[in-house]
């Protein structure tokens, strides 16, 4: 199992924002979180990424409990969020945006190979 979320609860003060959500994602699956504004989608993602601490429950990545890991350690495992809609990285070029996704990687040759593969797959970039 790639990602497992078990009975996750998150509070903002007295507000019980997430009330026991559970789901799992297998390798190769594409999963979406759908819900109304305020349903807890962003809270769930922030908690998985280590930006919020759950009051109960657990998050596992490839069998490892990552519930209490700091966000920078979770990023190094390959888990992160990509902002959409707010154009956070709008001033950057396409290449610079792609390079942002490789900042935890140290092998320049592998980064260059990945960049070429992406640019070959998406020629309009």
Percent of the chain scoring above 90 in pLDDT: 72
pTM of the model: 0.78
Containing domain of residue 119, as a range?
Answer: 82-125
Does residue 43 fall inside a structural domain?
yes
User: What is the rounded average pLDDT for all residues in the chain?
Assistant: 91
Does residue 75 fall inside a structural domain?
no
Does residue 86 fall inside a structural domain?
yes
Q: What is the pLDDT of residue 103?
A: 81
Does residue 76 fall inside a structural domain?
no
Cβ-proximal residues to 20 (8 Å cutoff; 6+ apart), any chain = 7, 8, 9, 56, 57
Q: Give pLDDT tens digits for 44-95.
A: 999 999 999 999 999 999 999 999 999 999 999 989 887 666 666 778 888 8
Cβ-proximal residues to 91 (8 Å cutoff; 6+ apart), any chain = none
Average pLDDT over residues 25-49: 95
Same domain, 33 and 91: no
Tokens of 76: 């190094």
Same domain, 50 and 19: yes
């Amino acid at each position: 199992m790639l990602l497992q979320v078990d009975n996750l609860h998150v509070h903002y003060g007295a507000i019980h924002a997430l009330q026991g959500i559970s789901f799992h994602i297998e390798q190769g699956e594409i999963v979406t979180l759908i819900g109304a504004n305020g349903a807890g989608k962003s809270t769930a993602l922030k908690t998985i990424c280590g930006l919020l601490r759950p009051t109960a429950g657990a998050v596992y990545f490839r069998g490892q409990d990552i519930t209490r890991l700091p966000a920078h350690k979770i990023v190094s495992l390959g888990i992160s969020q990509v902002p959409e809609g707010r154009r956070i990285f709008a001033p950057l070029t396409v290449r610079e945006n792609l390079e942002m996704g490789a900042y935890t990687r140290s092998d320049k040759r592998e980064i260059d190979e990945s960049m070429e593969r992406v640019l070959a797959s998406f020629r309009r970039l």
